[in-house]
Each structure stands twice: as C-alpha cells, then as structure tokens.
C-alpha cells in the first residue's frame, strides 16, 4: 500500500466521522429547543400566581418529555452504539440540562430527589452503560447540582409569594443533598467546580430560613410540615 | 436568640472568607457551626439527614462508581507514561542505528524494547475490557502516539516505507495463550476474559504519531549527513514529501491537533529539502571527506532555529 493510498483511506474515515458529527449536531439542536421549551414552562413556578397550578405545569412538562424521548431515540441511531464516549461532548450539555429539568419536575411533584434510574426512564434511555445509550453518572450529578441552584431561587420566590413553608422543606432537601455530595471524592474537573457552587445555594436557603425564623413566620409552617411526615 | 444571631452572622462571614478553601475544610467547619446551635433549627435539620436514607445510599453507590472510574483512569495514565518513556528510549536507540556498525544488533534490541512496550499496551487492553475505549482515550492517547512513532520509525528503518494502521493494529492483538502468565503476574484478573484482546489505534492517533515520526526522520536525515551518508537524505526527502502530500490531502478534515502538526511537518520537510539542496550543490565541488564539516555547521544552525520556534 503506498503512502498516498493510506492517506486517502484515512481521509475517507475522517470524512465519515465528520458526517456522523454533523448528524448528531442536528438532533442535539432539536433537543436543546425542546429543553428550552420545558424550562420556559417550568419557569412559571417562580411567579406568584404560578404556585397554584404546579401540578398542571408538571403535567405539561411531562408531555414535552415525550418529544425528548423520540428525539433521543433518533440520536441513538446516528452513531455506533459502542462509541458513546467518542461523541459524548456533543450531547453532554443538553443531557445535563434535561436531567435538571426532569429532576425539577419530580421535585415539584413529590419533593424528592429523582433517582438516576428514574431520570433515565423519563428520558427513555438506559441507566447502565452495558445496555446502550445511557446516562453518565457525572452528567446526572451535574444536573442535580443545577437543581440545587434553581431551588435556592425558588425558596426566595416562594417567600415573596407568601408560601413560608416551602423554604423549610427546600432547606431540608438541600441539606440532605449537600451531605450526599460530601460523600463523593471528586476530581478537579467540571463537576467539582459545579459542586463548589452548591455551598452558596445552601447558604442562600439558610438565609431565607433564618429570615423566616427570626420573624416567627416558620411557626405555623413547621406544624404543617410535621403533619406531612 | 440574640446570641445565636451574632454567632451566625460571624460564622457566615467566616464562611464567605473561606469560600475558596478545600471542601474538606468547609465540611469540618460546618460541623462546628452546628455545634453552636444545639437547640436551633439547624440541629433539627441535621438530624433529618439520615445516613441510611434512600438519597444517602444512592450517593454512597455513586461514590463507589466514581472512585472506581477515577482509579482506572489513573492506572491508565500511569501505563501511558511508561509506554511513552519506553517508546522514547526505543527511538533514541534507533537513532544510533546509522552511526553504529552493528546495525542488526540495534534492530534486535529495539524489537525487544518494543515487545516490552506491547506488554504494557496489553495491560491497557486488559483494563479496557468491557469498557468504552473512548471514555478513557484521553488517558492513553499520548502513550499510544509515542508508540506509533517508535514502531513506524523502526518499520521505516527496516523497510523504507510507511507502516499502515492495519499493520499496527495487527501487532496489538493479544492472544489468550499467554493469559495464564499475565493473570498470575497481575492480580487484576477478570472473570471471563475473551479469547483475544485487541487495542485499536484510532485514525487520529495514528496520524498524530506519523506526524511525530517526520520529526524523527528529519533528525535522522541531518544525522546521516553528518556521518557522510549521501544517499539517505534523498531517500528521506522523497518519503517525507509523500507524507506531507498525504497530510495536505487530509487538510482541515481532521481534528484541530492534526492541522497544528502540519505546520511543524512543513518545517521538518523544509530542513530536509535544504539539506538535499546543499548536498547537491556542494557535493559536486567539495571532496566527500569534507562534507561532514559543512554539515556540522549546518546542523548547528538548524538547532538554533528549533530553539527559537
């Protein structure tokens, strides 16, 4: 095989590679669009009036996740199944965003942290690497960290809207999340950088809870909370 | 209550100051802060964090998963470093080939060295059984490139042609027959190893390795001129030109790293072409035994250029 033949063959491989990337990029763009739509929908909860119809908003968001599922389904067909990490960077960001959105919906519905398996199910993908297109653990954790900052914001806005009990529940939730993340030995990478931001979210929520406590606004709320449990 | 308020304000201030401190330290600090509020709201919350809750158990499994992944990555980085070092040594050894009279011996020695490198690569392949190779590609890519450089350099010296990707990959298929000996040697034996392990060099790694090879060929060219070898430089310039043409054919289709190497490749080619030019022009007027003197000054100049760029 002559040198030029070898390079012609390699060029063919590289071009095929670029085509795959192009295809993936198209689907990822569509996914980003859907993710933005869901986010806009859920942003409604920060408005005073939005607190009443949270279940309705969640319902709508879940419908949108149907679109996400079909889009992810088509993404799977764009590249060989065993080369997930080769093209990972292309959908990493949008997948983290979708994890956050799914986690947000689940939190608003049940005030619990969505499990990795449940997210995978909402998105119509696998939790395990062995079984195909899956959710990488670091992407899952990144999405959960985004949820934490969103909840810090929600705590502030729910006080404005007159809901004094929600910040206390959020505080409990975030504290548990914080303890969970402290169990992890993170490397000095992007996930670690985002984890470093968690303490500000914790602090923000603590401040809200503090403001409520010194004004005695948490009294009836804690009673209500006690009943819930 | 007021005491609590003061305490909290000061603790918040401290927390702000230490915002960039290590997470471990902030963890320790947090604990102290809770102790300051034995009857406060925070205390209650702390108790709510049940170490055996669903969330905590899942995070414990995440910890395991992440640690396993990081450990594997570290092991691969280590292997990659070893591969790089050994390959570099092989290349230095091969540079001695032209000047030494015992060429055959040096080739054999390089073969032994490359076998050792391949054993390391086999360990890499073992680590990657059942994994997505691209997940850990960043860890092993530098080592593989250096190996490709060494192996293609040896191949060139032997056959005066470019080794193909297929040829490299063929050497990286490890049969199961020496499975026993490796599982005995290394403790990380796997439950069900397949009959053969192979490691596939990616096209991009191959290209980058070949681009590095051209640098070695340039050195070989200048070196051989210094030794009074008149034929090798012409052969090398021919070969380098072919590779350069190949790279220009790929051009921007390849990833960024490849186009970056193209610039260095052009410089190497220019040096070799200049050397050939000098040989041609002066070769006709200077007696052969004096050529070495002409080129010893020439190589110095080139070295200076390299130091600048």
- Does residue A228 form part of some domain? no
- Please give the DSSP secondary-structure letter assigned to residue A120: H
Q: Enter the DSSP assignment of B163.
A: P
Residue at token pair 């062995």: A130
pLDDT band at B292 (very low <50, low <70, confident <90, very high): low
A3 and A115 housed in the same domain: yes
Q: Are residues A107 and A120 located together in one domain of the fold?
A: yes
Q: Is residue A229 part of a domain?
A: no
Range name among A143-152, A195-204, A214-223 with the lowest pLDDT average: A214-223
CATH number of the structural domain spanning residue A94? 1.20.58.190
* Section B280-309 average pLDDT: 59
With 70 as the cut, is the pLDDT of residue B296 above it?
no
Find residues 253-272 of chain B whose CB sits inside 8 Å of chain A. 253-254
Task: Please give the interface size between A and B, counted as residue pairs whose CB atoms are below 8 Å apart.
Answer: 122
User: Coil, helix or strand for A134?
Assistant: strand
All residues of chain A having their beta carbon less than 8 Å from the beta carbon of residue B62 are 137, 141, 183-184
**Residue A162 sits in the same domain as residue A53:** no
A9 & A116 share domain: yes
In terms of domains, do A118 and A156 share one? no
Distance CA A49, CA A51 (A): 6
Nearest CA to B306 among B219, B204, B190?
A: B219
Tell me the three-class secondary structure of B27-38, residue by residue: HHHHHHHHHCCC
Domain membership of residue A184 (yes or no) is yes
Shortest CA distance to A88 belongs to which of A147, A142, A12?
A142
**B183 pLDDT higher than 50:** no
Task: Give one word for B40, left, alpha or beta, with left for phi > 0 and alpha for psi -120 to 50.
Answer: beta
Contact of B87 with B150, CB cutoff 8 Å:
yes
Distances (CA, A) of B60 to A184, A202, B42, B160, B200: 8, 21, 23, 57, 35
Across the interface, whether the CB atoms of A172 and B70 are under 8 A apart is answered: no
- Chain A hits for B26, Cβ within 8 Å: 199
Same domain, A114 and A6: yes
- Residue A190 belongs to a domain with what CATH number? 1.20.58.200
Same-domain pairing of A84 and A51: yes
CB neighbours (10 Å) of residue B286?
14
- My answer on whether A66 and A9 are in the same domain is yes
Q: Are residues A97 and A24 part of one domain?
A: yes
Both A161 and A108 in a single domain?
no
Q: Is there a single domain that holds both residue A125 and residue A214? A: no
Please check if A73 is assigned to a binding site. Answer: no
Containing B197, the helix (H) or strand (E) segment is strand B197-198
Query: pLDDT, tens digit, for every residue of A187-202?
Result: 888 899 999 999 999 9
Work out the pLDDT band at A123, boundaries 50, 70, 90: very high
Distance, in Å, from the CA atom of B17 to the CA atom of B23, rounded to the nearest integer, reads 13
Q: Closest Cα partner for A79 from A61, A96, A62, A91?
A: A91
Give the least confident one: A30-44, B51-65, B132-146, B180-194. Answer: B180-194
Rounded to the nearest angstrom, the minimum Cα separation between A35 and chain B is 26
Q: Domain of A203? A: 136-218
Q: Which residue has the tokens 């596939």?
A: B200
Q: Is residue A225 part of a domain?
A: no
**8 A C-beta contact, residue A68 and residue A31:** yes
Cα distances (angstroms) measured from residue A23 to each of A81, A92, A136, B256: 15, 16, 21, 20
Please give the radius of gyration of chain B, using alpha carbons only, rounded to the nearest integer: 29
Q: Looking at the 3D structure of chain A, how many domains does it have?
A: 2
Q: Which residue has the tokens 């939005």?
A: A50
Judge contact between A69 and A35, C-beta under 8 A.
no
Residue B6 forms contact with A (CB below 8 Å): no
B60/A177 Cβ within 8 A = no
Last residue of a domain, one of A100, A135, A170: A135
Crossing angle for the helix pair A54-76 and A3-43, to the nearest 10 degrees: 170
Contact B266, B248 (CB under 8 A): no
Specify if A17 maps to a domain. yes
Residues paired with residue B173 on neighbouring β-strands, in sequence order: B198
Q: In chain B, positions 188-217, which contact chain A (CB-CB < 8 Å)?
A: 203-204, 206-207
B118, pLDDT greater than 60 = yes
Is residue A226, in this structure, part of any structural domain at all?
A: no
Chain B hits for A138, Cβ within 8 Å: 66
Mutual angle of helices B41-48 and A166-182, in 10-degree steps: 60
ipTM over 0.90: no
For residue B37, name the pLDDT band (cuts at 50, 70, 90). very low
Spatial distance between the Cα atoms of A174 and A155, rounded to a whole number of angstroms: 11
**Six-digit token string for B119:** 């054993």
What is the full DSSP assignment across A64-111?
HHHHHHHHHHHHHTTS-GGGGGGSHHHHHHHHHHHHHHHHHHHHHHHS
pTM: 0.79
Q: Cα dihedral sign for B296, B300, B303, B309?
A: negative
Measured between CA atoms, the residue of chain A closest to residue B46 is A175
Mean pLDDT of chain A, nearest integer: 89
Residue A227 located in a structural domain? no
- Top pLDDT among A40 and A129 is at A40
Among A135, A151, A184, give the residue marking a domain's end: A135
Which among A135, A167, A187 is the end of a domain? A135
**Residues A101 and A117 reside in one and the same domain:** yes
Query: Which residue in B53, B65, B246 is closest to A137 by CB distance?
Result: B65
Distances (CA, A) of B289 to B223, B227, B286, B293, B295: 16, 10, 8, 8, 11
Pairwise CA distance, residues B213 & B136, whole Å? 24
- Picking from B224, B56, B284, the residue whose alpha carbon sits closest to that of residue A183 is B56
């Amino acid at each position: 095989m002559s040198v030029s033949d070898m390079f012609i063959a390699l060029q063919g491989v590289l071009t095929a590679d670029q085509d795959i990337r192009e295809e993936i990029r198209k689907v990822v763009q569509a996914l980003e669009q859907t993710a933005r739509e869901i986010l806009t929908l859920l942003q409604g909860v920060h408005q005073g009036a939005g607190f009443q119809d949270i279940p309705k908003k969640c319902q709508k968001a879940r419908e949108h996740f149907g679109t996400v599922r079909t889009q992810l389904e088509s993404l799977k067909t764009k590249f060989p199944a065993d080369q997930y990490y080769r093209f990972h960077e292309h959908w990493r960001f949008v997948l983290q965003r979708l994890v956050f959105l799914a986690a947000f919906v689940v939190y608003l519905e049940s005030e619990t942290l969505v499990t990795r398996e449940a997210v995978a199910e909402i998105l119509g993908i696998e939790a395990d690497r062995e079984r195909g297109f899956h959710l990488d653990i670091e992407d899952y954790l990144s999405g959960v960290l985004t949820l934490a900052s969103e909840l810090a914001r929600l705590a502030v806005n729910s006080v404005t809207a007159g809901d004094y009990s929600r910040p206390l529940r959020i505080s409990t939730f975030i504290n548990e999340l914080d303890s969970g993340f402290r169990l992890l030995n993170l490397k000095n990478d992007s996930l670690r950088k985002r984890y470093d931001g968690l303490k500000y979210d914790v602090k923000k929520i603590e401040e809200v809870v503090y403001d409520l406590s010194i004004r005695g606004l948490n009294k009836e709320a804690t009673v209500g909370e006690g009943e819930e449990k | 209550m007021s005491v609590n308020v003061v305490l909290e304000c000061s603790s918040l201030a401290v927390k702000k100051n230490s915002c960039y401190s290590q997470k471990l330290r902030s963890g320790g600090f947090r604990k102290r802060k809770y102790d300051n509020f034995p009857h406060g709201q925070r205390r209650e919350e702390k108790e709510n964090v049940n170490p055996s809750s669903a969330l905590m158990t899942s995070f414990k499994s995440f910890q395991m998963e992440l640690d396993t992944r990081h450990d594997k990555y570290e092991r691969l980085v280590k292997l990659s470093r070893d591969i790089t070092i050994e390959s570099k040594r092989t290349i230095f050894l091969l540079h001695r080939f032209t000047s030494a009279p015992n060429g055959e011996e040096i080739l054999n020695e390089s073969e032994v060295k490359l076998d050792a490198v391949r054993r390391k690569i086999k360990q890499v392949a073992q680590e990657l059984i059942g994994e997505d190779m691209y997940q850990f590609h960043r860890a092993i890519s530098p080592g593989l490139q250096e190996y490709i450089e060494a192996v293609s350099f040896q191949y060139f010296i032997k056959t005066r042609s470019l080794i193909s990707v297929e040829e490299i990959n063929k050497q990286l298929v490890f049969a199961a027959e020496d499975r026993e000996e490796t599982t005995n040697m290394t403790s990380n034996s796997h439950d069900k190893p397949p009959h053969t392990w192979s490691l596939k060099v990616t096209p991009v790694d191959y290209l980058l390795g070949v681009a590095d090879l051209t640098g070695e060929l340039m050195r070989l060219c200048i070196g051989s001129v210094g030794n009074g070898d008149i034929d090798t430089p012409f052969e090398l310039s021919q070969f380098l030109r072919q590779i350069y043409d190949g790279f220009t054919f790929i051009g921007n289709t390849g990833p960024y790293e490849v186009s970056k190497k193209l610039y260095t490749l052009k410089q190497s080619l220019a040096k070799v072409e200049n050397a050939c030019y000098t040989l041609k022009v002066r070769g006709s007027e200077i007696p052969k035994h004096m050529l070495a003197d002409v080129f010893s000054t020439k190589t110095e100049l080139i070295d200076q250029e390299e130091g600048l760029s």
